[in-house]
Structure 1
Amino acid sequence: MNGPVSRFYFSDRLRLHYVEWGREDKPTLLLVHGGRDHCRSWDWVAQELARDFHILAPDLRGHGDSTWSQGGAYTLAEVVADLVQLLRQRAGRKVVVMGHSYGGAAALFLASLYPELVERLAVVEGTWPWQELRTQKPLADRFRDWVDKVHELSARGPRKYQTLEEAVARMQAENSFLSTDQAHHLTVHGLHQNEDGTYSWKFDNYIRTAYPFRISLDELRDLWSAVTCPTLLINGGKSWVEDPVANGAAALFPQGRTAMIADAGHWPHHDRLDEFMAITRPFLAG
């Protein structure tokens, strides 16, 4: 199968990148990657689904080949605005959405706030805000932590790798489930080469900051309860993200269902692709 076509669009004065798979006469599927990832992390899934869907896979702001935010603040609200812009420009109809982690949390807000845009929703390891907001620090502490982190990142600069192989090793250290071929693919598309010949990740390090002003747990409950489309929550049994059934998050979604991939970590679509596709393919097709 042919690879994706690379395209750009503008949102909030930023030039943002996305790739496109499949034919435009097919139903549209939006694939939203996670934090510090990039659009090509969906390649294995996209190859499986491109015959059945017109796929849009964006590089979120500050990731991949998209522009970094000015000022270094990255919020889910801004990501949702970018996704709405992309869908209004390129879809023109309700779409199927699948998001992972940070992108999964954004996809949940998208479906809640813009139900006219989302037909059905698959969320991979994206209910982490439920556990984060239950245990968050007071605002004053969050505010100071954010300022300190911004100053630290400003002084530190992006990490440099002397060779591609060194970066591949770092990728595999982050996710031990990855094969060497997977890690190489993700690394090649996730790096740029610096003027001195070294390599650095494409993502903006400021993504690591946690913006201090957040919604409350009650507000999150209200937003998730307003997701009225069919919703599939997929989690890895060996991930740090809590089981949404066990912590009560899954019960908030009126048309929610869940799937647990026992031998997967935080990236089930990389860790156990065949099992992941067996779960998601029939759901996405409706």
Structure 2
Amino acid sequence: MKPSRSEFLSIRGLRSHTRHWGREGAPKIFMVHGWMDVSASFQFVVDCLQQDWHVIAPDWRGFGQSERTQSDTYWFADYVADLDAILDHFAPGEAVNLLGHSMGGNVVNVYAGVRPGRVRRLINLEGFGLPATKPEDSPKRYAKWLDELREPPVLKSYPSRQAVAARLQKTNPRLKDERADFLSQHWSAPNAAGEWEILGDPQHKKPSPLLYHVEEVLACSRAITAPVMWVEAEDTNMWQWMGPKEQARIEVDRRLSHLANVTAHMMPDAGHMLHHDQPELLARMIEDFVTRE
């Protein structure tokens, strides 16, 4: 495995962890992870990159080694603002190669429309977004949020790191033993009782009181000027949150149509965690895309 190094800095008042691979001064690729994931999740893709790169991958607030907020709710806009601050720190004034997976894919998509001049190439790995909502959904959403504020959320702990690895493989049966073992070291840590806890703030489990306004997201998509590479897994499970496959497929294609310059790929023999399932193929796709004139 290619060695990585950690750096801690203050991002908008929180102690934030960033992982680096490669040589300082090499061309940069920023990679941002998804919900309940960590920056080390990109290790396998980084190992397969053939060229000289400086890969920079933060842990989002409340994940991995980054500090948790003191609030009882995480707001999507904070990820966008954190990304802006991270890019200002590591690449001031540069147009960057920016990759996001899942939740991170949604963040980079919005950011690239808000700050189009800051993004040179955009890679979205399964950042589908959420189902469209309507104003009539708002009262129930607020009620659900208020109800869940009364009960502190918890995440399950595990008796050993091996049990964490087994949990990862249960979620993703394609995950090889050695990759599950590696991820378990970064995805969890032992607590005072000797059990292994997931390195994610349980508050992330709570719903947002705000509805998902897809047309606002699509306005950001239309404002993107960078070339976009969209990568979807052949065996994605996104239908679990986007709705029945036939209708969801139509909606996903509609959302992609709002990108002016997009190249779409279907990743074979891969699920939602495609950077774990097909890192060799994904690394080739990334390098082909970001080095293209």
Q: Please indicate, yes or no, whether the TM-score normalized by the shorter chain is above 0.5.
A: yes
How many residue pairs match? The answer is: 282
**Matches of 2:111 and 2:132 in 1, distance apart?**
19
**Matches of 1:136 and 1:231 in 2, distance apart?**
31
- Residues 1:264 and 2:265 aligned together: no
Structure 1 residues 208 and 263: CA distance shift in structure 2, 3 A: same
Query: Which residue does the alignment assign to 2:242?
Result: none
Q: Which runs of 5+ in 1 are unaligned?
A: none
Query: Which residue does the alignment assign to 1:278?
Result: 284
**How far off is 1:52 after superposition?**
2.5
**How far off is 1:15 after superposition?**
0.5
- Residues 1:144 and 2:162 aligned together: no
**Matches of 1:244 and 1:53 in 2, distance apart?**
37
Instruction: Kindly provide the amino acid, as one letter, of the partner of residue 278 in structure 2.
Output: R
C-alpha distance after superposition, 1:73-104 (max 9, x if no partner): 22221011111111111112111001000011
Instruction: Kindly provide the amino acid, as one letter, of the partner of residue 233 in structure 1.
Output: W
Query: Which residue does the alignment assign to 1:49?
Result: 49
- Residues 1:102 and 2:103 aligned together: yes
Query: Which residue does the alignment assign to 1:203?
Result: 200
Question: How do 1:1-286 and structure 2 match up within 5 A?
Answer: 2-49=2-49, 51-92=51-92, 93-129=94-130, 132-134=131-133, 138-152=137-151, 154=152, 156-241=153-238, 243=249, 247-286=253-292
Where in structure 1 do 4 or more consecutive aligned residues deviate above 6 Å?
Answer: none
C-alpha distance after superposition, 1:199-231 (max 9, x if no partner): 100101111222121452221221111111100
Q: Relative to structure 2, which stretch is displaced further, 262-271 or 272-281?
A: 272-281
Structure 1 residues 77 and 268: CA distance shift in structure 2, 3 A: same
C-alpha distance after superposition, 1:153-209 (max 9, x if no partner): x1x533221111211111111111101111111111111111111110010111122
**Matches of 1:165 and 1:24 in 2, distance apart?**
35
**Matches of 1:205 and 1:177 in 2, distance apart?**
26
Asked if the contact 2:110–2:220 (Cα under 8 Å) also holds between the matched residues in 1, the reply is yes
Structure 1 residues 162 and 99: CA distance shift in structure 2, 3 A: same
Give the 3-state SS of the residue equivalent to 1:139 in structure 2: helix
Asked if the contact 1:30–1:96 (Cα under 8 Å) also holds between the matched residues in 2, the reply is yes
Asked if the contact 2:133–2:212 (Cα under 8 Å) also holds between the matched residues in 1, the reply is no
Q: Which runs of 5+ in 2 are unaligned?
A: 239-247
Instruction: Kindly provide the amino acid, as one letter, of the partner of residue 137 in structure 2.
Output: P
Asked if the contact 2:162–2:184 (Cα under 8 Å) also holds between the matched residues in 1, the reply is no
**Matches of 1:136 and 1:159 in 2, distance apart?**
34
**How far off is 1:112 after superposition?**
0.8
Asked if the contact 1:161–1:167 (Cα under 8 Å) also holds between the matched residues in 2, the reply is yes
**How far off is 1:113 after superposition?**
0.6
**How far off is 1:110 after superposition?**
1.2
